[in-house]
């Protein structure tokens, strides 16, 4: 069974025109977006996915992302402030 995804060709063409016109925005976005994934792969030792297909990969990645987010909250707020914020 093959899943067909509808792609808005006009949207893709617009993006192809915008990206080369503003390379500094693309570079900045890569830095912002790639940092959490690099951190996860390095510090939590999340390498290759053990499963296939997007729903399975999402299930595998969810606990890792949750752990990363909790770790960041603890680093930013600290344990005392986090416990004070809980109901």
Q: Three-state SS for 58?
A: helix
Q: Give dist(CA 4, CA 11) in Å, integer.
A: 18
Residue 56 and residue 83 share a domain = yes
54, two tokens = 């997007």
Residue 56 and residue 79 share a domain = yes
Q: What is the pLDDT of residues 26-83, one digit of tens each?
A: 788 777 777 777 777 777 777 777 888 888 888 888 888 888 888 888 999 899 988 8
Q: What is the pLDDT of residues 5-25, one digit of tens each?
A: 566 788 888 888 888 888 888
Residue 73 and residue 61 share a domain = yes
Residue 42 and residue 59 share a domain = no
The 3-class SS string of the chain reads CCCCCCCCHHHHHHHHHHHHHCHHHHHHHHHHHHHHHHHHHHHCCCCCCCCCCHHHHHHHHHHHHHHHHHHHHHHHHCHHHHHHHCC
Asked whether residue 1 is domain-assigned, the answer is: no
Domain interval for residue 35: 8-47
Residue 40 and residue 12 share a domain = yes
Asked if 85 contacts 56 with a C-beta cutoff of 8 angstroms, the reply is no
Q: How many domains does the chain have?
A: 2
């Amino acid at each position: 069974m093959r899943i067909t995804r509808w792609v808005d060709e006009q949207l893709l063409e617009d993006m192809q025109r915008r990206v080369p016109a503003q390379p500094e925005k693309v570079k900045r976005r890569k830095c912002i977006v790639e940092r959490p994934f690099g951190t996860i792969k390095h510090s939590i030792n999340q390498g290759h996915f053990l499963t296939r297909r997007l729903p399975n990969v999402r299930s595998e990645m969810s606990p890792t992302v949750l752990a990363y987010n909790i770790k960041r909250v603890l680093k930013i707020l600290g344990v005392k402030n986090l416990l004070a914020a809980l109901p």
